[in-house]
Amino acid sequence: MTEKLKGTTTVGIVCKDGVVLAADRRASLGNMVLSEKVTKVFWIDNHLALAGAGSVGDILSLVRLLRAEAKLYRAKVGKEMSVKALATLTSNVLHGSRFMPYFGWFLVAGHTGQPRLYSVDMAGGVTEDRFTAAGSGMEFAFSILEAEFKEEMTLEEGVKLALKAIKAAARRDVFTGGGVTLVTVTDEGYKEWSEEEIKGLLE
Active site residues: 8
pLDDT of residue 6: 54
Lowest mean pLDDT among 4-13, 36-45, 137-146: 4-13
User: Mean pLDDT over residues 27-40, rounded?
Assistant: 79
Give per-residue pLDDT as tens, 77-101.
999 999 999 999 999 999 999 888 8
pLDDT of residue 58: 93
Res. 112: pLDDT tops 50? yes
DSSP letters for the chain: -GGG-B--EEEEEEETTEEEEEEE--EEETTEEEES----EEEEETTEEEEEEE-HHHHHHHHHHHHHHHHHHHHHHSSPPPHHHHHHHHHHHHHHTTTS---EEEEEEEESSSEEEEEE-TT--EEE-SEEEEETTHHHHHHHHHHH--TT--HHHHHHHHHHHHHHHHHH-TT--S-EEEEEEETTEEEEPPHHHHHHHH-
Which amino acid is located at 62 in the chain?
L
pLDDT of residue 28: 77
User: Mean pLDDT over residues 15-44, rounded?
Assistant: 88
Q: What is the pairing mode between strands 9-15 and 131-135?
A: antiparallel
Mean pLDDT, the chain, integer: 92
Looking at the DSSP bridge assignments, the partners of residue 136 are none
Res. 29: pLDDT tops 80? no
Res. 30: pLDDT tops 80? no
Domains and CATH numbers, the chain: 10-198 (3.60.20.10)
Give per-residue pLDDT as tens, 161-202.
999 999 999 998 888 888 899 999 999 999 999 989 988 887
CB of 130 closer than 8 Å to CB of 151: yes
pLDDT band at 203 (very low <50, low <70, confident <90, very high): low
pLDDT of residue 129: 96
CA distances from 182 to 28, 107, 134, 198 (A): 20, 13, 15, 8
The Cα–Cα gap between 178 and 175 comes to 10
pTM confidence score: 0.92
Res. 62: pLDDT tops 70? yes
User: Mean pLDDT over residues 146-167, rounded?
Assistant: 96
